Amino acid sequence: MSLIIDVQQLTKKYGNNTALNNVEFSLEKGAPVALVGPNGAGKTTLFSLLCGYIQPSSGNISVLGHSPGDSALFGRLSALPQDAQLDPRFSIAMQLSFYARLQGMSRKQAKNDTLRVLEMVGLLDAVNSLPSELSHGMRKRATIAQALLGSPEIVMLDEATAGLDPVNAREIRAIVADHASEVNFILSSHDLNELERLCDRVLYLENGKLKQHQTHGNNVNTRYLTLRMKQQYQDIIASISQIPSVEHIDMTQDREYLLTINNEHDVGNVEIELLNMLIKNNWSYTQIINGKTLENQLF
Ligand code: ADP
């Protein structure tokens, strides 16, 4: 077991404001890790501390066995800030090659590495484009390519999908999933649902305090079904409770229901019974999820 990050009793105060309060966690090499929490929870502060941009008020951080900011980490960890921008004056290739050269690569190595990372994010066709010639989603992918230059072992992406439409957000998640065996990704998001299928491990921050959670792969839990409806329907709870294997129903939020299934029944059959009931009543649903959503697991 090799720890890539070990954080002990980490506290960060800005004046009287405690942004992180006695945070402790350790991460092993492996699947992407999600750092989630509402705005102001302390995610960016934690990223900045891990990168060594700011110093803790107290506590210890070890990244790949070194203190953040240690020159031994140069090129081994990279971070993409939420507001990362491309320079409008230069082509994508020129900018990425420039950053690769800053890492100490020769001109030829920089060119090859630029092409490698652009291929990783599916942007080889845009190599000679100016940022203004790319869509918002493509520009985001170009900045992720920049974070992948030099093959760092840890890549932290701060709100990488913020402000993107669902299709582009999905593309970013696919890039992470496709390269998770080569790179240890840490992704932050204020949206719990967004990362639940991508990440096995969730660090949930709230008011500077940490709760941790293991999602067990793809969040399959045969004891539960989550049903999301298109709109509110009267009598829906009564109708669901007519299904024999449904033991219990909770309305977890507006138009979302968590069904507890009697273990002796096959969940596949419950889904069919549920669909038949919805069709019979002419009720529209948006999603049936096998298991609890991450939000329902955490709270
Ligand atoms: P998140 O990234 O989860 O939105 P932040 O780490 O940006 O949260 O902020 C955590 C808390 O620390 C917030 O209360 C924020 O106002 C405060 N904070 C962040 N950066 C600074 C700073 N440079 N100076 C003072 N307070 C800050």
Fold (topology level) of 3-214: Rossmann fold (3.40.50)
Question: Mean pLDDT, the chain, as a whole number?
Answer: 89
Hey, what amino acid is at 186?
A: I
Q: What is the mean pLDDT of residues 157-176?
A: 90
Q: What is the mean pLDDT of residues 6-25?
A: 97
pLDDT at position 60 is 97
pLDDT at 156 over 70: yes
DSSP codes, 2-31: -EEEEEEEEEEEETTEEEEEEEEEEEESSS
* Burial per residue of 142-173, b for 16 or more beta-carbon CB atoms within 10 angstroms, e otherwise: bbbbbbbbbebbbbbbbbbbeebeeebbebbb
- Residue ranges around ligand 1 (CB below 6 Å): 14, 17, 19, 37, 39-45
Among 11, 12, 7, smallest CA distance to 60 is for 7
- The separation between CA 287 and the C-alpha centre of its own chain, rounded to angstroms, equals 21
pLDDT at position 221 is 41
| Lookup result for tokens 């507006």 | 254
Q: Is the dihedral of CA 10, 51, 156, 140 positive or negative?
A: positive
Question: Phi, psi (5° rounding) for residue 117?
Answer: -70, -30
Interval 174-216: pLDDT, tens:
999 999 999 999 999 887 777 877 887 889 999 999 987 665 4
Fold (topology level) of 222-298: Alpha-Beta Plaits (3.30.70)
Closest-lying ligand 1 atom to the alpha carbon of residue 208: 10
Judge whether 3-214 and 222-298 match in fold.
no
- Whose CA is closest to atom 21 on ligand 1? 14
pTM over 0.85? The answer is: no
Ligand 1 mean position, distance from CA 16 (Å): 12
In the chain, where the domains are located? 3-214, 222-298
- Whose CA is closest to atom 19 on ligand 1? 45
